[in-house]
């Protein structure tokens, strides 16, 4: 029997990512409803994608349609309420990243998922990339030994989004750290086994976003720019490991776009995108580059994993716990930047 899915939000992430992934497995999924406060948009998406029903609120959709699962594709400010409503309505939930606006919201979402007995998963698709999965196999086999340090970079030269609400702190909770930095941070944490954070030290900068300039991702509203354009930080963990982090929508650097995780272990290390591994063997320093990795659509793999878990009844709390953990770190970095003090957990 196919999973009956509804969409909360009819914007680009729903139409460009979630719907194509669901449509790719028609024997497993039937998208039956879409809800958006912009009702005309919801109706148009329903018509374009042969979805039976459109609603102007997710509350109406959850009340009137028998659904098994929900994709939450709305701005960060609305993640918690939408996800909790769907969980309480008896639906599994795939919520776009980041989990929420802050740690407290993520905790509430995790608790409701546990109480409802439903799966809560977040849209961290970089962990499903071929490079990440290959590195994970080497790590699990012990080839890197103990991973004690990592470097995370999500840096754009001039990549402030010229669309959506990405520059609105009230709706997003922050800028590049919570938007793109969170992807690379999750990838590093995933490969390191999601250790428990001990302390963070962070700093944010708003130097370029509030003035007119070159926009490689379109023109942005610089006069109403309320998020950081760069965030840096250091995270230490209770197991002794550490991560240094740099994330920017706009920075005076050479490369147009860098999304990278670098790992350092006592038996080996790696850069993940693209995958290149480093070891010392037989008194020789060697670099290992895969000759072949399968091409995958990481977004689709993520969503198909969610679908399969739902259909198999694989209701794990792993994803929800990891979401709360990463939200704690993000909160701590922003708090540290605001107070000028390290944050201890």
User: What are the strands of the beta sheet with 92-95, ordered from one edge?
Assistant: 53-55, 29-35, 3-8, 69-72, 92-95, 120-122
Q: Mean pLDDT over residues 113-128, rounded?
A: 98
For 185-243, the pLDDT digits (tens) are 999 999 999 999 999 999 999 999 999 999 999 999 999 999 999 999 999 999 999 99
- pLDDT over threshold 90, residue 11: yes
Dist CA 263 CA 136 (whole Å): 11
How high is the pLDDT of residue 261?
98
For 58-81, the pLDDT digits (tens) are 999 999 999 999 999 999 999 999
For 130-174, the pLDDT digits (tens) are 999 999 999 999 999 999 999 999 999 999 999 999 999 999 999
**Per residue in 107-125, is it b (16+ CB within 10 Å) or e — as a string?**
bbbbebbeebebbbbbbbb
How high is the pLDDT of residue 143?
97
- pLDDT over threshold 90, residue 100: yes
How high is the pLDDT of residue 240?
98
User: Residue 237's beta-bridge partner residues?
Assistant: 197
Q: Mean pLDDT over residues 100-126, rounded?
A: 98
Q: Judge contact between 276 and 289, C-beta under 8 A.
A: yes
Measure CA of the first residue to CA of the last residue in the chain; give whole Å. Answer: 45
Closest CA to 237 of 321, 327, 329, 340: 329
Dist CA 132 CA 302 (whole Å): 13
Which residue segments constitute the domains of the chain, with CATH numbers given? 3-124 (3.40.50.720), 126-299+327-344 (3.30.360.10)
- pLDDT over threshold 90, residue 1: no
- The owner of tokens 């007995």 is 117
Dist CA 312 CA 296 (whole Å): 23
Average pLDDT, the chain: 98
**Has this prediction a pTM greater than 0.85?**
yes
- pLDDT over threshold 90, residue 117: yes
How high is the pLDDT of residue 241?
98
Dist CA 194 CA 188 (whole Å): 8
- pLDDT over threshold 90, residue 119: yes
User: Residue 7's beta-bridge partner residues?
Assistant: 34, 71
How high is the pLDDT of residue 135?
98
User: Residue 30's beta-bridge partner residues?
Assistant: 4
- The owner of tokens 């591994």 is 277
Q: Mean pLDDT over residues 6-15, rounded?
A: 97
**Residue 345 corresponds to which tokens in the numbers above?**
């957990």
């Amino acid at each position: 029997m196919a999973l009956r899915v509804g969409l909360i939000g009819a914007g680009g992430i729903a139409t460009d990512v979630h719907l194509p992934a669901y449509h790719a497995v028609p024997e497993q999924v039937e998208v039956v409803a879409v809800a958006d406060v912009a009702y005309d948009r919801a109706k148009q998406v329903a018509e374009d994608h042969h979805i039976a029903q459109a609603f102007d609120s997710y509350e109406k959709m959850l009340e009137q349609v028998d659904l098994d699962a929900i994709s939450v594709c709305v701005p960060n400010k609305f993640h918690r309420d939408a996800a909790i409503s769907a969980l309480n309505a008896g639906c599994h939930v795939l919520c776009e990243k980041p989990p929420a606006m802050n740690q407290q919201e993520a905790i509430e979402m995790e608790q409701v998922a546990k109480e409802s007995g439903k799966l809560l998963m977040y849209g961290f698709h970089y962990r499903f990339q071929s490079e990440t999965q290959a590195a994970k196999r080497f790590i699990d086999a012990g080839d890197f030994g103990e991973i004690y340090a990592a470097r995370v970079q999500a840096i754009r030269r001039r990549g402030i989004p010229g669309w959506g609400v990405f520059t609105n702190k009230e709706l997003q909770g922050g800028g590049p750290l919570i938007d793109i930095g969170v992807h690379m941070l999750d990838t590093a944490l995933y490969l390191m086994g999601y250790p428990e954070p001990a302390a963070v030290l962070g700093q944010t900068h708003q130097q370029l976003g509030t003035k007119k300039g070159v926009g490689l991702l379109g023109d942005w509203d610089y006069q109403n720019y309320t998020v950081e354009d760069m965030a840096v930080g250091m995270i230490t963990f209770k197991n002794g490991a550490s991560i240094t982090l740099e994330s920017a929508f706009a920075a005076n650097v050479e490369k147009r776009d860098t999304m990278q995780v670098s790992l350092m272990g006592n038996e080996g290390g790696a850069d993940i995108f693209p995958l290149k591994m480093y070891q010392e063997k037989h008194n020789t320093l060697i670099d290992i580059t895969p000759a072949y990795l399968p091409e995958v659509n990481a977004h689709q793999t993520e969503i198909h994993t969610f679908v399969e878990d739902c259909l198999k009844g694989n209701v794990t709390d792993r994803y929800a716990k990891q979401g709360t953990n990463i939200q704690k770190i993000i909160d701590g970095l922003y708090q540290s930047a605001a107070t000028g003090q390290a944050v201890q957990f």
